[in-house]
Amino acid sequence: MSTQPAFTVLDDSDASLGIAEVAHLSGLSQDTLRWYEREGLLPAVHRGTDRRRRYSRRDAALVEMLAKLRDSGMPTEEMREFSRLVAGGAATHGQRLAILERHRDRIHRRQVELDQHLASLDEKVSHYRYLIGAGLDCDGQPVPTLPATRSSPTPAEGESR
């Protein structure tokens, strides 16, 4: 199991990124980033002298993590709580771990369900491939062949042969 972070590590720890750069890094739209901020999923993003959002390296890493949590089905309220705990510093590591482990367990349970559904679909696909290959209908009877069609085009309305 890898111990590498699940987010992009920026080279310059003092780097300040604009919203377009963070959107690109995270795969989220700029509107989604603004929504995350309005909904309290992100702490207030610092603004530059030009009043534009400026994200720190940590902000960008949090955005990437939140995007992964959302994509994997974490409820918004839990994302909000996770983000709030991140702002609380190292003293909240245990609480953050608990949130992530609960979510991880949900993902594993869902993965088991999806694997079962996939196995059912694979069975049905195999069944239909067999029927088609054998020329059978769903009752195991031969599929009647359609009568051969004429190779010459049908005359247009009003035309005679």
pLDDT digits (tens, 9 = 90+) for 50-60: 999 999 999 99
For 132, residues 6+ apart whose C-beta sits below 8 A from its C-beta are none
Contacts made by residues 114-120, CB under 8 angstroms, sequence distance 24+: none
Tell whether the torsion through CA atoms of 109, 113, 114 and 116 is positive or negative: positive
Rounded to an integer, the average pLDDT of 138-160 is 73
* pLDDT of 12: 45
* Residue 161 pLDDT > 90: no
Rounded to an integer, the average pLDDT of 64-72 is 97
For 21, counting Cβ atoms within 10 Å of its Cβ (0-12 exposed, 13-18 middle, 19+ buried), the class is middle
| Residue of higher predicted confidence among 9 and 79 | 79
Residues in the chain: 161
What separation in angstroms does the CA of 72 have from each of 18, 60, 112, 117, 142?
Answer: 26, 19, 14, 18, 46
State which H helix or E strand residue 79 sits in.
helix 76-87
* Pair of tokens at residue 10: 């920026």
Q: What is the pTM of this model?
A: 0.72
Whole-angstrom Cα distance, residue 96 to residue 87? 11
Type of residue numbered 47: R
